[in-house]
Amino acid sequence: MSTEHNCWQCGTPDVASLFCRYCNSLQAPIPNYYEFFGLNCQLALNPDHLQKQFYQLSRLLHPDRYTRRSEQEKHYSLQASSILNDAYRVLRDPIRRSEYVLNQAGFEIGDPRNKEVPPELLEEVFELNMALDELRMGDTEVLPQLDEMRQHFLDMMAEMDGELESQFLTHDAQPDDEARRKVLTGIRAILNRRRYIRNLVDEVDKQLTARNA
């Protein structure tokens, strides 16, 4: 994506960064999260480095710094810091980060409310639904079993998180777009399974909190 343009203030051509290199005024922000952070589109990110970068950019862009500046710069500061905050929220979370990369690469991501059961989980989901039904009828004897199943799902998620981490490194090491797309396809499959399990855990939690309330 080309983000080069002329400075709105002094007309200096080909301003590509946050500030005009000539008159130092704030420019219209770049909407791409990676570009905003000055990063290559890599999936494995160092959280400490990201935080440091976030703080540094906040110091430069936050509206508090533009109270006494022109209306145009105030406007850009508001836009830029909202993109910065949104970007940091997405990039610091491995799941949302990979969803963002998939999205940017043009992949369709499954509907978060998709109820279609992945075949390998059929048996477990069936058991879970039985247990939840019994709980709804007031049978508290299923509670230990529910707890066990919940833990089982959490373990599965942790396992997938490990799997994702190594896939991230594989992705970043690929030489070209085509090779990267292949890895992304695999990542998408893991994410879809993970999301399904996440929903199951949420469902259990919801039932349990509803019962406690």
Partner 1 sequence: MSTFQIDFSSVNKKRIVGIDLGTTNSLIAFMDLTGPEVIPGADGSALLPSIVSLNDDGTFTTGAAARRLLIDRPDRTVYSVKRLMGRGVDDVRNELRLFPFHIAAGSEQVIRLQLGDRQLTPPEISAQVLRELKHRAEEFLGEEITQAVITVPAYFNDAQRQATKDAGRIAGLEVLRLVNEPTAASLAYGLDKRKDGVVAVYDLGGGTFDISILRLKEGIFEVLATNGDTHLGGDDIDNRMLSIALEDIATEWGEDVSTNGEAVQTIRQAVIEAKEKLSFVPTAALEIHYQGKQYLRELRRDLFEQLIKDIVDRTLGPCRQAMRDAGLQPEQIDEVVMVGGSTRIPLVRSAVETLFRAKPHTDLNPDEVVALGAAVQAAILSGDVQDKLLLDVTPLSLGIETMGGVVSKLIHRNSTIPASATEVFTTSVDGQQNVLIHVLQGERELVKDGRSLARFDLKDLAPVPAGMARIEVRFLIDANGILNVTARDLRSGKEQSVEVKPSYGLTDEQVEAMVLESFEKAEDDFQARQVREARVEADTIFSAVDKARSNDAWHTLDSEEQAAVDLALNELHMVYHGEDHLLIRDRIEKLDNTTRRLAENMMNTAVRAALKGTKV
Kindly list the residues in this chain that would bind partner 1 in the complex (CB under 8 A): 10, 22-24, 55, 58-59, 62-65, 67-69, 78, 81-83, 85-86, 88-89
**Cβ atoms of residues 43 and 171 within 8 Å:** yes
- Minimum CB separation of residue 22 from partner 1 in Å reads 6
SS3 content of the chain, % helix, strand, coil (to 5): 65, 0, 30
Nearer to partner 1, 90 or 105 (CB): 90
Nearer to partner 1, 50 or 142 (CB): 50
Nearer to partner 1, 108 or 120 (CB): 108
Q: In angstroms, rounded to a whole number, what is the distance separating the alpha carbons of residues 6 and 23?
A: 12
The SS3 call for residue 67 is coil
Q: In angstroms, rounded to a whole number, what is the distance separating the alpha carbons of residues 104 and 92?
A: 17
- Minimum CB separation of residue 142 from partner 1 in Å reads 25
- Minimum CB separation of residue 70 from partner 1 in Å reads 10
Q: In angstroms, rounded to a whole number, what is the distance separating the alpha carbons of residues 200 and 16?
A: 45
- Minimum CB separation of residue 2 from partner 1 in Å reads 18
- Minimum CB separation of residue 86 from partner 1 in Å reads 6
Phi first, then psi: give them for residue 26, nearest 5 degrees.
-70, 135
**Cβ atoms of residues 81 and 61 within 8 Å:** yes
- Minimum CB separation of residue 161 from partner 1 in Å reads 15
Nearer to partner 1, 41 or 83 (CB): 83
Sequence-separated (6 or more) residues with CB below 8 Å from residue 162: none
**Cβ atoms of residues 37 and 87 within 8 Å:** yes
Nearer to partner 1, 93 or 148 (CB): 93
Across-strand partners of 5? 15
Nearer to partner 1, 34 or 54 (CB): 54
